[in-house]
Structure 1
Amino acid sequence: MSATTPRVRASELQGRGWLNTGGKSLDLAALRGKIVLLDFWTFACINCLHVLDELRPLEQQYADVLVTVGVHSPKFEHEADPVALAAAVERYEIHHPVLDDPELLTWQAYTARAWPTLVVIDPEGYLVANLSGEGHSAGLESLIPELIAKHEANGTLHRGDGPYVPPAPREGTLRFPGKVLPLQGVPGHEGNFLVSDTGHHRLVELAPDLETVVGSIGSGSKGFADDDAATAQFNEPQGLALLPGELAAQLGYDVVVADSVNHRLRGVSLATGEVRTVAGNGVQRLLEAGPNTVDNDDATALGVLGTDPLSVALSSPWDVVYSAELGQLVIAMAGVHQIFGFDPRSGAVSVLAGTGLEGLLDGPAEQAWFAQSSGLGVDAKGDIWVADSETSAIRVLRVSEGRISQVETAIGEGLFDFGFRDGEAAQARLQHPLGVAPLPDGSVAIADTYNGAVRRYDPASGQVSTLARGLAEPSDVLLDGELLVVVEANQHQLVRLPLPKEALQVDEGSVRTQRPATDVAPGEFSLSVRFSAPTGQKLDDRWGDPTQLKISSTPPELLVAGDGTSTGLNRILTLSTEVPEGVLHITARAAACDGAETEDGEIPDHAACHLYQQDWGIPVKLVTGGEAGLALDLRGMN
């Protein structure tokens, strides 16, 4: 920051209340003398969950000088429920104060535009940096020591404990269970259910009464370890898949577990309790920088990523199911918005569908967009149903000739559209579903998580109905005989529910995510995205301009000119004079590499490179006299 750059005071923290402070309210005055990191997040967002884990080492390393404050700014209606937020703070083991900001007061004060956004405030209360998206830990690792040195020298840094007050621990058999797997056909386990006891970082086998514990696998301590049932470790396990008996006998394990925060697939032998890693190297998969990375974003080539499964990076695998038609396991890779495959015979890990761009787009598998897919189910025809949570959608992967040929949407409209509405599928609405189960009659049961309901979609009639409601974040569902088995995550239990003779018809409306719209002027409109490479990194220009913008709009008529993909982080758009409002969809990318330059100014061949990316959906209202431009921060420094 130059001497002539004006310093900007941080805005006050406003909201409905505070969590993790022992009932006390905080303000910036109480935090003066500390480096403050505001983390604007929402608990449905997988990228926000990634950032929580990225920040944990920094919070531990700089515990006496750094205070992280989570500013929870909800996207979905359910996320504005204070009880649901308190459960999420407990579920994700957040060890810093959290400001509940349901009216987006602090969000607006800091002009946040996307989840997640990080804002750094120095010990004197001035803004230092604004960072959008995930992957900024390396930059923070260089920035924080600089701030410590400066403010320690100035006498403005105060060391000591922060304001975090841990909540009372929860007791009980299960803690935020995620998924359930019936163990039919497994000798010695018939009638039992295996549950991912996500909050206890283990697997629990329950008797048919859904309460009696038959056994558990995993120590219950968060971590990673391959070992026997008593000492193996998981980190927020989610999806479970049972392998065919012959294949299980050949491989030596029966169940495959989506170990979400470990970014691995684990294999479990039910006979011995032994846990082994079968895919994933434990490193979160990110978009990779390198030749043509920035230029080629419209399709990710399908195919094998590697045949050594323990060397391939995964990203928050959330569910897993075995497909006989594909001859492999299918994985909902929530962290990169794609569908992966894993062939346990050959070890091949592959991309089966999705470009990696977040959104709702149907078509051939290599062109489809997904958004945090979190539930999978295979129907009698071999097609694969997907609970695509961030678009509140149900998608279907059409399988033919041993591959996924087409992606279709059964229910859902887009990233910002949700609700609780039954009826014709085109008008029906869900709210962040996490589970899906094809039923014998050809219909599909849906764990409609944020509506607290189990819904049903009938492809034959094209109708959506409600089977049960009043549940606390149901995260999975299956049919057991004539009864539904539902994982009720926020009640920490599994329940059986009868199938109603007549399904309910609910219409509580369709909702669009409500965020403040920006008043913009029709006509020529300038868009710029600011990016400053972290200390110790340099923009990677070896293959041309290492930055890129991809721009579209809803409705498409909003943009008369300037849409599409091109290099550079500045674009002149033309906004329609006929469309009163809409949403600008913006994806920005920039590639930078570690290390000092060589004498000729080139990046060393051995340098590690990173791709920074953020997606924005910005509501706009076209008015005379509105703003004629918009500036966003991918990584901005004040």
Structure 2
Amino acid sequence: MTSRARVRAPELHGRSWINTGGEELGLAALRGRIVVLDFWTFCCINCLHVIDELRELEERHRDTVVVIGVHSPKFVHEAEHAAVVDAVERYGVAHPVLDDPELTTWKQYAVRAWPTLVVIDPEGYVVAQHAGEGHVHAIEKLVGQLEAEHEAKGTLRRGEAPFTPPEPVAGDLRFPGKALALPAGGFLVSDTTRHQLVELAADGETVLRRIGDGERGLADGAADVARFNEPQGLALLPDGDVLVADTVNHALRRLDPATGEVRTVAGTGAQWWQGAPTEGPARQVALSSPWDVAWFAGRVWIAMAGVHQLWTYDPETGTVAAAAGTTNEGLVDGPAAEAWFAQPSGLAVAADGGRLWVADSETSALRWVERAGDGFAVRTAVGTGLFDFGHRDGPAAQALFQHPLGVTALPDGSVAVCDTYNHALRRYDPATGEVGEVSTLATDLREPSDAVLVPGDSEGTPEIVVVESARHRLTRLRLPEDAVRVEAVAHRTQRAATEVAAGMLRLDVVFRPPPGQKLDERYGPATRLVVSSTPPGLLAAGEGTGTDLHRELMLSGAAGTEGVLHVSAMAASCDEEGEYPACHMHQQDWGVPVRLSPDGTDRLPLVLAGPAEGAEGAEG
């Protein structure tokens, strides 16, 4: 077996434990088991992918492996304990979770990115660290080696994992995601956590029928046998059918409202990975966490949250294609093919049909797509980037949201924004001032994730029905509402800045192919590294794209200057043995806060895959 660094795993410290029945866990009690720490935060789509990837590993090795989620928040809302408890239930997390709002354990393990997986052997030593998603195949091989090694040594202890599921809660909806106003009245709601669609009467409360049997899965057929996997977005097609973004199935499903029949029209059921086709017959092209759908410019547009892009689906030709975004995560405007998004999660078409509004959740931004010549362009109305968020009204250039998931076009040309982590409904009016104005329409709307317009009262005053996801209900509000005056609050992501020296800084992305794999150089370089900074002036040299995972950066600024290094790394590997070796893609984006200091380090290591560097445990 490959030799491993003997680094004693630091103890797990945080505010409290979830899914343990009130018991506090320690590594000493887990000695003899293989422990996989999953550092995650519930806003992060890549983290949600990893939770799903881990399900089969947990099941296959249930008597030897204990997965422990370490929840390390990015947004202020994610530091609320109740919100973490909700997220654990919402996403079906079936293992213990340590709520670590102060990032105590994150710092002890020198983690720099969401998600990060750390493997601890049965004797309590860290043996591997992987940043990003797609590493479970490698971890499974390592688990097999550890099982054999420690079984032979007598240091493996088998048994059930320390997991106590939450008590089931009654109710018609459980963490609903999106809603659609039906032409005949009433609503169709994606009941996300229960893996169903629910048709409600016009009162928004009375259940008329359920579509899907309520079990997690991918199955077509009649309403009582079809299966979904955390469905989200809903869109009405011109022929009256409904298109469903079946998020965790990485698929689009088509519902016939008259019969309740469900069929899959796009996606393979597998997640899209770098290098896979980005256009072609819809059932032959993989998708990645489609979160919302909307009919715009003669086809369906898809908020492809999993790869930070917008795709399109053409029902006439049965094809899909990437339409906007590069898969790099961030906020960059321009021609659609060159723009950057960060988990687009909500779509709405402007009343005049000229714009497709986008809730770009990880940049806390409101953006739009419009025609530009023979193609499309992407613009930003509100938002500055990945690390600035808050609740601030006023001119759009200074306004702030916090992880919005939904947008709704209003009749007057303005936009209602479900400002999810601020628990508010906000309004952007592009006609006010030179850059538009943001106001608050309503507060105390627990995690609003979508909203739809309805005709309203007999006087014709429109109303808006909001999906209060964390209150498990639809809530009706009159429009226009008097704006709610909210004291302005601004935040930046709270992670300790790395002290670095001004001048030359060596960036090392550590990648070691997992056991039994080698770099895949059959079609050219197997690695790619993209580096940029905020502010741009922080990097005097070293910005751009290259194939080497090591880069000499020149940092510019006086002592005390702060900024963020944006690093995106990718590596391709393939199995060393077998007639048809499987290929694997490893990719991760980091946003590393840095502060220039005369005593700062001149090397910045980031682990993509391989032995853990820098955990603050004692050497064994």
Does the pair score TM above 0.5? yes
CA-CA distance at 1:508 after TM superposition: 2.6
Aligned to 1:386: 358
- The one-letter code sitting in structure 2 at the alignment partner of 1:200 is R
C-alpha distance in structure 1 between counterparts of 2:487 and 2:326, whole Å: 34
Aligned to 1:412: 383
Residue 604 (structure 2) pairs with residue 617 (structure 1): no
- The one-letter code sitting in structure 2 at the alignment partner of 1:416 is F
- Alignment map for 1:176-325 (pairs within 5 Å): 176-184=175-183, 190-245=184-239, 248=240, 254-288=241-275, 305-306=279-280, 308-323=281-296
Normalising to structure 1: TM-score of the pair? Answer: 0.92
* CA deviation vs aligned residue, 1:289-331 (integer Å, no higher than 9, x gap): 7xxxxxxxxxxxxx9710x2111100100000112xx211110
C-alpha distance in structure 2 between counterparts of 1:270 and 1:543, whole Å: 47
> Bigger CA drift: 456-465 or 541-550?
541-550
- The one-letter code sitting in structure 2 at the alignment partner of 1:137 is V
Decide whether the 8 Å contact of 1:341 with 1:349 is kept in 2.
yes
C-alpha distance in structure 2 between counterparts of 1:443 and 1:525, whole Å: 46
- The one-letter code sitting in structure 2 at the alignment partner of 1:175 is R
Residue 300 (structure 2) pairs with residue 329 (structure 1): yes
* CA deviation vs aligned residue, 1:241-263 (integer Å, no higher than 9, x gap): 11113xx4xxxxx1000000111
User: Does the residue aligned with 2:488 lie in a helix, a strand or coil?
Assistant: strand
C-alpha distance in structure 2 between counterparts of 1:516 and 1:129, whole Å: 23
| Residues 47 and 304 of structure 1: CA distance in aligned 2, closer, same or farther (over 3 Å) | closer
Aligned to 2:400: 429
Decide whether the 8 Å contact of 1:423 with 1:465 is kept in 2.
yes
C-alpha distance in structure 1 between counterparts of 2:244 and 2:151, whole Å: 47
| Residues 485 and 119 of structure 1: CA distance in aligned 2, closer, same or farther (over 3 Å) | same
| Residues 596 and 508 of structure 1: CA distance in aligned 2, closer, same or farther (over 3 Å) | same
- Alignment map for 1:109-128 (pairs within 5 Å): 109-128=108-127
Given the alignment, which residue of 307, 313, 321 partners 1:342?
313
- The one-letter code sitting in structure 2 at the alignment partner of 1:448 is D
* CA deviation vs aligned residue, 1:80-102 (integer Å, no higher than 9, x gap): 00011000001111110000000
Aligned to 2:546: 566
- The one-letter code sitting in structure 2 at the alignment partner of 1:574 is M
CA-CA distance at 1:541 after TM superposition: 1.8
Normalising to structure 2: TM-score of the pair? Answer: 0.95
Given the alignment, which residue of 568, 577, 595 partners 1:587?
568
Decide whether the 8 Å contact of 2:502 with 2:557 is kept in 1.
yes
| Residues 55 and 501 of structure 1: CA distance in aligned 2, closer, same or farther (over 3 Å) | closer
CA-CA distance at 1:540 after TM superposition: 1.2
CA-CA distance at 1:404 after TM superposition: 4.7
Decide whether the 8 Å contact of 1:38 with 1:70 is kept in 2.
yes
**Aligned-pair Cα RMSD in Å:** 1.5
Q: Which runs of 5+ in 1 are unaligned?
A: 185-189, 249-253, 290-302, 598-603
| Residues 156 and 178 of structure 1: CA distance in aligned 2, closer, same or farther (over 3 Å) | same
Decide whether the 8 Å contact of 1:384 with 1:399 is kept in 2.
no
Residue 343 (structure 2) pairs with residue 372 (structure 1): yes
Given the alignment, which residue of 368, 372, 384 partners 1:396?
368
C-alpha distance in structure 2 between counterparts of 1:119 and 1:508, whole Å: 39
- The one-letter code sitting in structure 2 at the alignment partner of 1:464 is V
Decide whether the 8 Å contact of 2:5 with 2:127 is kept in 1.
no
C-alpha distance in structure 1 between counterparts of 2:33 and 2:512, whole Å: 24
C-alpha distance in structure 1 between counterparts of 2:611 and 2:84, whole Å: 31
Residue 613 (structure 2) pairs with residue 634 (structure 1): no
Aligned to 2:555: 575
Aligned to 1:299: none
Aligned to 1:469: 443
CA-CA distance at 1:607 after TM superposition: 3.1
- Alignment map for 1:36-55 (pairs within 5 Å): 36-55=35-54
C-alpha distance in structure 2 between counterparts of 1:216 and 1:234, whole Å: 12
C-alpha distance in structure 1 between counterparts of 2:524 and 2:318, whole Å: 36
* CA deviation vs aligned residue, 1:494-528 (integer Å, no higher than 9, x gap): 01012255312424322110101111111111110
Residue 451 (structure 2) pairs with residue 451 (structure 1): no
CA-CA distance at 1:595 after TM superposition: 3.6
C-alpha distance in structure 2 between counterparts of 1:170 and 1:501, whole Å: 33
C-alpha distance in structure 2 between counterparts of 1:235 and 1:381, whole Å: 31
CA-CA distance at 1:400 after TM superposition: 5.2
- Alignment map for 1:508-519 (pairs within 5 Å): 508-519=488-499
Aligned to 1:601: none
- The one-letter code sitting in structure 1 at the alignment partner of 2:47 is C
| Residues 614 and 304 of structure 1: CA distance in aligned 2, closer, same or farther (over 3 Å) | closer
C-alpha distance in structure 1 between counterparts of 2:333 and 2:5, whole Å: 47
CA-CA distance at 1:561 after TM superposition: 1.3
C-alpha distance in structure 2 between counterparts of 1:6 and 1:620, whole Å: 27
Q: Which runs of 5+ in 2 are unaligned?
A: 456-461, 613-620
C-alpha distance in structure 2 between counterparts of 1:141 and 1:23, whole Å: 29
C-alpha distance in structure 2 between counterparts of 1:198 and 1:525, whole Å: 45
If asked which structure has higher relative contact order (CA below 8 Å, sep 6+), I would say 2
Decide whether the 8 Å contact of 1:304 with 1:348 is kept in 2.
no
C-alpha distance in structure 2 between counterparts of 1:61 and 1:217, whole Å: 31
Decide whether the 8 Å contact of 1:353 with 1:404 is kept in 2.
no
Given the alignment, which residue of 485, 491, 511 partners 1:531?
511
C-alpha distance in structure 1 between counterparts of 2:278 and 2:226, whole Å: 29
C-alpha distance in structure 2 between counterparts of 1:367 and 1:526, whole Å: 28
- The one-letter code sitting in structure 2 at the alignment partner of 1:15 is G
| Residues 400 and 271 of structure 1: CA distance in aligned 2, closer, same or farther (over 3 Å) | farther
> Bigger CA drift: 355-364 or 391-400?
391-400
C-alpha distance in structure 1 between counterparts of 2:414 and 2:253, whole Å: 31
